[in-house]
Amino acid sequence: MLAPLRRCSASLPRALSCAAIARPALRSAPLSTPRFVVSQSKLAPILSVRSFQLSARLSEAAAAEAPAQEPLITQFADLEAKGLVHPNIIRSITAMGIETMTDVQSQSINEALRGSDMIAQAKTGTGKTIGFLLPMLQRIIAANPELAQAQRAPQSSHYSRRYQQHQRFSQTPPDIQAIVISPTRELAEQIAVEARKLTARTGVIVQTAVGGTKKREGLMKIKREGCHVLVATPGRLHDLLSDPYSGVKAPNLKYFVMDEADRLLDAGFFEELTNIQAQLPAREEVDRQTLMFSATVPKEVIRLVRQTLKPGFQFVRTVKEDEEPTHHRVPQKAVVAPLRNSHTVLLELIQKNLELNRQGEGRPFKAIVYINTLKDVKVYFDLFMKLRRELRPASVYGIHSQMEQGSRQRAADSFRADETAILFSSDVTARGMDFPNVTHVIQMGLPKQREDYIHRVGRTGRAGKEGEGWLIIPTFERRELRHKLKDLPIQADTSLATAQAGVETEGLAPEVAAYRETIKNAFQMVDPDNVTASFLSMIGGFSPAAGAKQDMIYEMNDLAIHTWGLPEPPFIGPSMAQKLGLNRLDGINTAGNRMRSATHREIDYDPNDPFGLKTPTAAPGSTGSAYGRGRSGGYGGDRRGGGGFGGDRRGGGGFGGDRRGGGGFGGDRRGGDRRGGGGFGGDRRGGGGFGGGFGGERRTGQGVGGDRRGGGSFGGDRFNRY
Q: Determine the pLDDT at residue 518.
A: 95
Distance CA(696)–CA(499), nearest Å, equals 46
Instruction: Give CA–CA dist 660/667, Å, rounded.
Output: 9
Q: What is the C-alpha separation between 654 and 594, in angstroms, rounded?
A: 9
Q: Please give the torsion angle defined by the CA atoms of residues 23, 29, 34 and 38, in that order, rounded to the nearest 10 degrees.
A: 40
CA 538/CA 549 separation, integer angstroms: 12
> Residue 575 class from Cβ within 10 Å (0-12 exposed, 13-18 middle, 19+ buried)?
exposed
- What domains, with CATH codes, occur in the chain? 1-151+172-323 (3.40.50.300), 326-492 (3.40.50.300), 527-632 (no CATH)
Q: Can you tell me the distance from the alpha carbon of 533 to that of 416, in angstroms, rounded to the nearest whole number?
A: 30
Over residues 130-169, the pLDDT tens digits come to 999 999 999 999 999 999 998 765 444 555 555 555 555 4
Low-confidence ranges of the chain (pLDDT < 70): 1-70, 152-172, 320-327, 432, 461-465, 546, 592-722
Query: Residue type at 92?
Result: S
Contacting residues for 9 by C-beta, under 8 A, at least 6 apart: 17, 21, 25, 26, 47, 51, 52, 55, 56, 315
What pLDDT sits at residue 511? Answer: 92
Long-range CB pairs of 684-692 (<8 Å, 24+ gap) are 688/653, 688/662, 688/663, 689/653, 689/662, 689/663, 689/664, 689/665, 690/594, 690/595, 690/655, 690/664, 690/665, 691/592, 691/593, 691/594, 691/595, 691/596, 692/594
Please tell me the predicted confidence (pLDDT) of residue 60.
52
Q: Does residue 115 contact residue 289 with C-beta atoms inside 8 Å?
A: yes
CA dihedral over 352, 353, 356, 357, signed as positive or negative: negative
Which uninterrupted H or E stretch holds 312? none
Residue among 114, 34, 44 at smallest CA distance from 72: 114
Write the single-letter amino acid at 140: I
pTM value surpassing 0.85: no
Task: Please tell me the predicted confidence (pLDDT) of residue 536.
Answer: 84
Cα separations in angstroms, 329 against 257, 450, 461, 464 = 31, 17, 8, 11
Listing DSSP states for 364-376 in one string gives: PPEEEEEESSHHH
